[in-house]
Structure 1
Amino acid sequence: MLTALCTKGVIIRATQLFFLSILRCLQVVACCLLSVISCVEAQTPTNVLIVGQIAEPKSMDPHAATALNDFRILMNIYDGLVRYKPGTLDIEPALAKAWTISEDGTHYSFILRQGIKFHDGTEFTANAIKFNFERMLDKSHPYHKTGPFPLAFFFSAVEKVIVKSRYSVEFVLKEPFAPFLSNLAYPTGLIVSPAAVKKYGKAFGRHPAGTGAFKFAEWQSHRKVVVTRNDDYWDGLAALDAVIFRPITDANTRVAEMLSGGIDLMVEVPPDNLAMFKKAKDLTVYEQTGPHVWFLILNMMHGPFADKRMRQAVNYAINKQALVNSVLQGTAVIAAGPTPPVFTWAYNKTLQPYPYDPGKARKLIKAAGYKGEKLTFYVTEGGSGMLEPIAMGTAIQADLAKVGLKVTIESYEWNTFLGKVNPGLGEQADMAEMAWMINDPDTLPYLALRTAAWPEKGGFNSGYYSNPEVDALLKEARKTTDQEQRGQLYRKMQAIVHEDAPWAFIAHWQQNAVAHHTIKDFQLQPSFFLLLKDVQKLP
């Protein structure tokens, strides 16, 4: 009996070893296949630029998109009536070759270029302009429900769009609106094909058609967006055959792909890796200051931050210099308010950032009657201009703990994060990270600090800040065409917002990118967009 059991045991053991060896062989084959796939992906095609992006895009519809991550793709598929002159935030002609403005600043007349076609073969005319803006602004428009269009705020001053002829169009404004041309150059002002919108409806964001230097080819979710050269482009052909935008949300993976040759160009380089990339002989690092603000939204609708003393306490409690020096490795400067200093004519130089003062923070917290309530802090895993969001969020949590605030972090993927923050923090969270890249001093405060910009009213004031004086200043600044007068109004607004502290003002970022040495004629833009038409990829 014992012999039989031993024999049976030997057979069983032999069988186990046989199947184990088969399993190991399969594992080896799988590893080999993965290695082959990795090698194939690492070998970037000739004259095809591979761009490593920080997140999966949400939509290829410029009227629906809100994130810089998406804008960097869209600016290469579409054109607007006007555009930013390369290297500046100055306006130059694009689909419109000329324009005039009435003396009272309420009529903008554009003469359009002729002979331009959308990527779907339909002609670009004044009727397309009318369709685009009425789609965004007119709730009764048959294709308005293909939205939502959260940045239609940019054109809220438009009363009507009049087609004067096949190639001329006039915008009639309700009142003078100083940022109008600048907003037309922003991605929300990009012109889409009416025929494509009619064909795809709500799915247009997955089937984009513009007039840009590159045409949409495919979108494999969480893998890549591919655009190919538009051989009929009105403003000269792109040097590249195609561009592939790869969403690589993990910063370490993005760095590894850059070093291995899996991507040619990487945006938003983690600060810890900048020095290494600068030393690499086959890589070029690009850096430029731009109109960026990184801040924490504080919930004034519910919870402890309805009290101004608590909001000011957060600003005193955060060691912003340590964040800039340690986490961001000197790639940013401390923020004093909602307006970036790059707008020299509108920036309030008299404002000083809240100093790091834990003692003062504790006194304010005690005076506000905080009783140890749990504070929920929304943090993103990565997104447009978010500057090491996990590391920053963790460091901020630690600073707030030192002054007695009990903060719990909830982290989310970028698009999920936006889906939680943009509708308003409500009763769900007390604070959230946020970053904006803006084209005018009007943009961020108008969309995120006015009472009329509360989420349920269509804006991005997710913390429910409200100050009638700020509302009045922003309204007046929009109507003022004299830049010096506008600047004075914005400076007053900044002083009030600094005192009210609806946000914790953290930093202004110096944007960066790194490219392989074979990439030529690339430059960073003050707008933070990627303009790739003239970029070359040498053999």
Structure 2
Amino acid sequence: MKKQERKPMSLLKMTRRSLMAAGTALALTLAAVPGAQAQTPPGVLIVGQIAEPKALDPAAVTAVNDFRILMNVYDGLVRYKDGTLEVEPALAESWEISEDGTEYTFKLREGVKFHDGSDFNAEAVKFNFERMLNEDHPYHDTGPFPLAFFFSAVENVEAIDDLTVKFTLGSPYAPFLSNLAYPTGLIVSPAAVEQYGADFGRNPSGTGPFKFAEWRSNEAVVVEANPDYWDGAPELQAVVFRPITDANTRTAEMLAGGIDLMVEVPPVALSEFQSDAFQVFEQAGPHVWFLILNAKEGPFADKTVRQAANYAINKEALVNEVLEGTADVAAGPTPPAFAWAYNPDLEPYPYDPEKAKAMLADAGAEGAELTFYVTEGGSGMLDPIAMGTAIQADLEAVGFDVKIETYEWNTFLGEVNPGLEGKADMAEMAWMTNDPDTLPFLALRTDAWPDKGGFNSGYYSNPEVDALLEEARVATDQDKRAALYKEMQTIVQDDAPWVFVANWKQNAVTSDRVENFTLQPSFFLLLDDVVKN
């Protein structure tokens, strides 16, 4: 855990007005002196985000872009240990789990207050989860809460006393603690929700290292240091999150000194930051980029043809040439970032076009026509048009006849998520998850077919995989869970319901004035230890 002592806080307190003035000065500098290195204020970190946040209510959003702000404003009962996806105490000092795995009792930290001055206690925790889960809760209408299903196993939340809260689950649910560490489990101020109602997402209040200051639409979200943070006051005076949606513009701003930290650097731009003026960071995370194959109808209903597609695609060339080395070749459905659950014995399908041709001949699928859905870009996608074009060429080289249909991201999801039946044979997809249960449970089980409410858009079905996943999510022993997931991975890799393409290594660039920054495997930004000179 992080050290508990308070960190020294700079005497200089930057006001909202001075932050706005700093932003104006930066803009004038960049406009007046093209290519000049601007000087952002010391103690204030300017972050180039990929988009405007949807809201600052952690229960109401799903995008990593939003989570990168929220993780600095709020805390959960637990959090991910630095550099890992393992949970450790946060607002809860400790917890006990009943023998049957259905009761979690948390002892809470004493003396913690929300940024609005109200008390953090067991009743606040109860309010948070009942707001999400109970339709008759008086503030349920401050949603919607799209990831509330993370806590669907919760039947009751009871405030035993001021500093003790008990969750009762309908059945054992192994990912429960991991889900509590995810942003959906962050704890908001009930008093602020009661004050602002549906506008709480524009007026957030948490217990985190930074307090919300202002949100200027399409310009910036500003947060200021919380000097009373229970885990020690942050080093920075403030953080300014600027939405810069165009990657080339973000790169230009970083090179010119208009921002101090840039996330999701385009692979082709990384070489521009190879100087002493910048620091480039890379970190593997729980990400997998894959191709959904329609296992219900068409050529890919045949397992041999699905395997042939995996042999046909030169994934090494994709990650090294198209993605400029910013990813590793994926071996199966579980990212290696889940070290305890990952099966290290799996080797990726090798690139073997001659074997692919022979397999297609054996299956009588030579010249098979394929409709391939490609997106222009979206959450966790890796240069999808360039990747799709390269994949099309590899598949055609072994005898497939591939037609690409390209869609804007939200339209693409509207085509893919309801299922590929009657529409397409394959589609690009990417997932970033917080637990090894999430992706296979939502996208590989028979009961996760689209007509049953899941994301198994290719209609893959294997009763053995179903049974392993059902058993793993109720197993309270992690070693047993790990063994079940590893067996699942072996079966799924052989069944090849997907083409397993890449595990992204997220990246970021900072200026040389930034110290103590690290990337987390969770893909979130944790900025309370960062220093800006």
Q: What is the TM-score normalised by the length of structure 2?
A: 0.85
Q: Which residue of 2 aligns with 1:258?
A: 254
Question: Residue 421 of structure 1: CA displacement?
Answer: 4.7
Cα distance, 1:39–1:233 mapped onto 2, change above 3 Å: farther
Question: Residue 334 of structure 1: CA displacement?
Answer: 1.1
* Partner SS state of residue 534, structure 1: coil
Q: Which has the larger radius of gyration?
A: 1
Cα distance, 1:275–1:106 mapped onto 2, change above 3 Å: same
Cα distance, 1:390–1:208 mapped onto 2, change above 3 Å: farther
Cα distance, 1:310–1:242 mapped onto 2, change above 3 Å: farther
CA offsets 1:78-103 (integer angstroms, 9 cap, x no match): 11001112222232221112222223
Cα distance, 1:344–1:241 mapped onto 2, change above 3 Å: closer
Cα distance, 1:453–1:216 mapped onto 2, change above 3 Å: farther
CA offsets 1:152-203 (integer angstroms, 9 cap, x no match): 3332332211111122100112233333222211112111223444454444
Cα distance, 1:81–1:397 mapped onto 2, change above 3 Å: same
Q: Which residue of 2 aligns with 1:412?
A: 408
Is the 1:55–1:382 contact (alpha carbons within 8 Å) kept by the matching residues of 2? Answer: no
Is the aligned partner of 1:285 residue 2:280? yes
Cα distance, 1:78–1:459 mapped onto 2, change above 3 Å: farther
Rounded Cα–Cα distance in structure 1 between residues aligned with 2:116 and 2:457? 38
Q: Which residue of 2 aligns with 1:440?
A: 435
* Partner SS state of residue 178, structure 1: coil
* Partner SS state of residue 335, structure 2: coil
Amino acid at match of 2:428: E
Instruction: Give the alignment partner of residue 172 of structure 1, picking from 168, 175, 181.
Output: 168
Question: Residue 289 of structure 1: CA displacement?
Answer: 2.7
Rounded Cα–Cα distance in structure 2 between residues aligned with 1:266 and 1:161? 40
Is the aligned partner of 1:274 residue 2:270? yes
Q: Is 489-498 or 529-538 further displaced after alignment?
A: 489-498
Question: Residue 368 of structure 1: CA displacement?
Answer: 6.3
* Partner SS state of residue 268, structure 2: helix
Amino acid at match of 1:338: P
Cα distance, 1:310–1:119 mapped onto 2, change above 3 Å: farther
Q: Which residue of 1 aligns with 2:159?
A: 163
* Partner SS state of residue 401, structure 1: helix
Rounded Cα–Cα distance in structure 1 between residues aligned with 2:65 and 2:223? 15
* Partner SS state of residue 150, structure 1: coil
Rounded Cα–Cα distance in structure 2 between residues aligned with 1:153 and 1:73? 22
Q: Which residue of 2 aligns with 1:60?
A: 56
Rounded Cα–Cα distance in structure 2 between residues aligned with 1:200 and 1:393? 45
Is the 1:42–1:257 contact (alpha carbons within 8 Å) kept by the matching residues of 2? Answer: no
Q: What is the TM-score normalised by the length of structure 1?
A: 0.84
Q: Which residue of 1 aligns with 2:503?
A: 508
Cα distance, 1:378–1:41 mapped onto 2, change above 3 Å: farther
Cα distance, 1:127–1:464 mapped onto 2, change above 3 Å: farther
Is the 2:30–2:258 contact (alpha carbons within 8 Å) kept by the matching residues of 1? Answer: no
- Which runs of no fewer than 5 residues in structure 1 stay unpaired? 1-31
Q: Is 75-84 or 446-455 further displaced after alignment?
A: 446-455
Cα distance, 1:417–1:219 mapped onto 2, change above 3 Å: farther
* Partner SS state of residue 187, structure 2: coil
Rounded Cα–Cα distance in structure 1 between residues aligned with 2:213 and 2:416? 32
Is the 1:309–1:368 contact (alpha carbons within 8 Å) kept by the matching residues of 2? Answer: no
Q: Which residue of 2 aligns with 1:226?
A: 222
Is the aligned partner of 1:136 residue 2:137? no
Is the aligned partner of 1:495 residue 2:490? yes
Cα distance, 1:46–1:350 mapped onto 2, change above 3 Å: closer
* Partner SS state of residue 76, structure 1: coil
Q: Is 396-405 or 508-517 further displaced after alignment?
A: 396-405
Rounded Cα–Cα distance in structure 2 between residues aligned with 1:121 and 1:426? 54
Rounded Cα–Cα distance in structure 1 between residues aligned with 2:500 and 2:339? 18
Q: Which residue of 1 aligns with 2:529?
A: 534
Residues 384-399 of structure 1: pairs in structure 2 closer than 5 A:
384=380, 386-399=381-394
Rounded Cα–Cα distance in structure 2 between residues aligned with 1:407 and 1:321? 23
Question: Residue 126 of structure 1: CA displacement?
Answer: 1.3
Rounded Cα–Cα distance in structure 2 between residues aligned with 1:412 and 1:473? 36
Is the 1:310–1:368 contact (alpha carbons within 8 Å) kept by the matching residues of 2? Answer: no
Structure 1 stretches of 4+ with a deviation exceeding 6 A read 37-41
Identify the structure with the greater helix proportion.
1
* Partner SS state of residue 77, structure 1: coil
Is the 1:287–1:524 contact (alpha carbons within 8 Å) kept by the matching residues of 2? Answer: yes
Cα distance, 1:100–1:464 mapped onto 2, change above 3 Å: same
Q: Which residue of 2 aligns with 1:343?
A: 338
Is the 2:67–2:524 contact (alpha carbons within 8 Å) kept by the matching residues of 1? Answer: yes
Cα distance, 1:368–1:231 mapped onto 2, change above 3 Å: farther
- Which runs of no fewer than 5 residues in structure 2 stay unpaired? 1-27
Rounded Cα–Cα distance in structure 2 between residues aligned with 1:208 and 1:399? 49
Rounded Cα–Cα distance in structure 1 between residues aligned with 2:484 and 2:411? 36
Question: Residue 62 of structure 1: CA displacement?
Answer: 2.0
Residues 25-424 of structure 1: pairs in structure 2 closer than 5 A:
35-36=31-32, 43-277=39-273, 279-300=274-295, 305-362=300-357, 367=363, 373=369, 375-384=371-380, 386-402=381-397, 403-413=399-409, 421-422=416-417, 424=419
Question: Residue 497 of structure 1: CA displacement?
Answer: 1.5
Is the 1:55–1:383 contact (alpha carbons within 8 Å) kept by the matching residues of 2? Answer: no
Is the aligned partner of 1:473 residue 2:468? yes
CA offsets 1:40-86 (integer angstroms, 9 cap, x no match): 99553332211122334333332232232222121111110011122
Amino acid at match of 2:519: L
Amino acid at match of 2:393: A
Is the 1:229–1:241 contact (alpha carbons within 8 Å) kept by the matching residues of 2? Answer: yes
Alignment length (residue pairs): 505
